[in-house]
Amino acid sequence: MRNGIAAKAATIIASHRPTTVVAIPARNEATYIEACLTALGCQTEDPDVVVVLINNSDDATYHNAERLREHLPFALYLEPLELSPQRRDAGHARRHAMTLAADIAGPGGYLLTTDADAVVASHWIERSVANLRRGCDAVCGRALLDPRDARRVPAHLHEDDGRECQLIELLDRMAWLLDPERHDPYPRHTEASGANLAVTVDALQSVGGIPPVPSGEDRAFVRALWLADRRIRHDLSIVVTVSGRLDGRATGGMADTMRRRIVRQDELTDEQVEPADDAWRRYGLRRRARDVWSGLITDRRLAHDLGVADAVLDYAMTARFFGTAWAKLEAQSSVLARRRVAFTALPREIAAAEALLVEGESEMAAAD
């Protein structure tokens, strides 16, 4: 079966059209896999191949996917795999699935990945690939909770999530205001979910593939791309719907978080959240460092304001990629040390972020 799909991919490559391959890790997903594949079969732009890596499963996932094969407008490749106990997790499964998809797509190909319990919107492939064709190296879409499952989630969880997301969005507005990345214009989002991710084969392979970590492989992968100055687009219009089940497959994933927060509110918000003043300082310094690294300016106070020695700044500025240079500075700077935000502090930090943005946007408008 794989040889036949490889031959199909070779035919596509010979026609000088990039191959589009979707990779889906699936472990005991008999309940969801049919809806997932059916949605992929109703796209405005069809994929060439869909790879389902069925790892460590003892249910009907393979059977339920196989019986759809003749009804789908793409080649379906089902790969059963037994991962060792040390690697029997979501991160290693997605790594294997994406590596296999890259082998099929070949150089110049486009890769997309989602989860087996996700239902992608009808324009998922079209819009994701359109971003890649425009020169982006990776595209992060949004993963939204199935409305039916969302209604079963306690109100206090929705309220906590709403406030946390509000502050995250405000902090991202700061990033765009102070240090904009032109390939990722505002409005955008900050998610990096394996349920909704697209990437070129070249970009995937340039960072060694999906990181071999038990969980959080999606964020770690997007972080690796950012460190290598790859162009990452966070497109609000690209959406998938994911289940709100509480028996998730990934340890430390969304299901674990929901189950824990139903019982008791976490003390601290997500790791990407920080106090408004810290974020304002961080993105202002990042822009200055970017300009120094690019050779646009000489900034004699930058090392002092970062709280690092001149030698540390000079060494960081020799990095091949700005993302790597900035990571070196963040690791050495006490000024940039991350502080977490308590859930109880969210209203105060939201107000502070809004005030900083009003003042900053007014100053920039006056300067123009």
- Omega cis (within 30) before 187: yes
CB 108 within 8 A of CB 23: no
The DSSP H or E segment spanning 26 is strand 20-26
Is 157 or 79 the better-scoring residue by pLDDT? 79
Q: What is the pLDDT of residue 157?
A: 83
Residues 88-106: what's their mean pLDDT?
Answer: 95
CB 97 within 8 A of CB 26: no
Please report the DSSP string for 141-169 in residue order.
EEEEE-HHHHTTS-HHHHHHHHHHHHHHH
Task: Return the residue matching tokens 């991710």.
Answer: 197
pLDDT tens for 63-82 read 999 999 999 999 999 999 99
Residues 36-55: what's their mean pLDDT?
Answer: 97
Please give the angle made by the CA atoms of 351, 162 and 359, to the nearest 5 degrees.
25
* Biggest alpha carbon–alpha carbon distance for the chain: 66
Q: How confident is the model at residue 366 (pLDDT cuts 50, 70, 90)?
A: confident
Residues 314-341: what's their mean pLDDT?
Answer: 97
Closest CA to 326 of 310, 339, 313, 311: 313
pLDDT tens for 178-188 read 999 999 999 99
Q: What is the pLDDT of residue 314?
A: 97
Per-chain mean pLDDT for the chain: 91
Q: Which amino acid is at 310?
A: D
pLDDT tens for 214-271 read 999 999 999 999 999 999 999 999 999 998 765 655 555 555 565 555 545 577 999 9
Task: Please compute Rg for the chain using Cα positions.
Answer: 22
d(Cα 9, Cα 340) in Å, to the nearest integer? 47
**3-class SS of residue 181:** coil
Residues linked to residue 49 through DSSP beta bridges, in sequence order:
21, 75
- Domains belonging to the chain, first-starting first, are 2-263 (3.90.550.10), 276-362 (no CATH)
CB 258 within 8 A of CB 244: yes
Q: Is the pLDDT of residue 26 over 90?
A: yes
Residue partners of 115: CB distance under 8 A and separation at least 6: 24, 25, 36, 194, 195, 240, 242
Q: What is the pLDDT of residue 264?
A: 55
**3-class SS of residue 357:** helix
Q: Is the pLDDT of residue 30 over 70?
A: yes
CB 324 within 8 A of CB 228: yes
Q: What is the pLDDT of residue 259?
A: 53
d(Cα 75, Cα 5) in Å, to the nearest integer? 7
Neighbours of 32 (CB within 10 A): 20
Q: What is the pLDDT of residue 23?
A: 98
Q: How confident is the model at residue 340 (pLDDT cuts 50, 70, 90)?
A: very high
Neighbours of 227 (CB within 10 A): 17
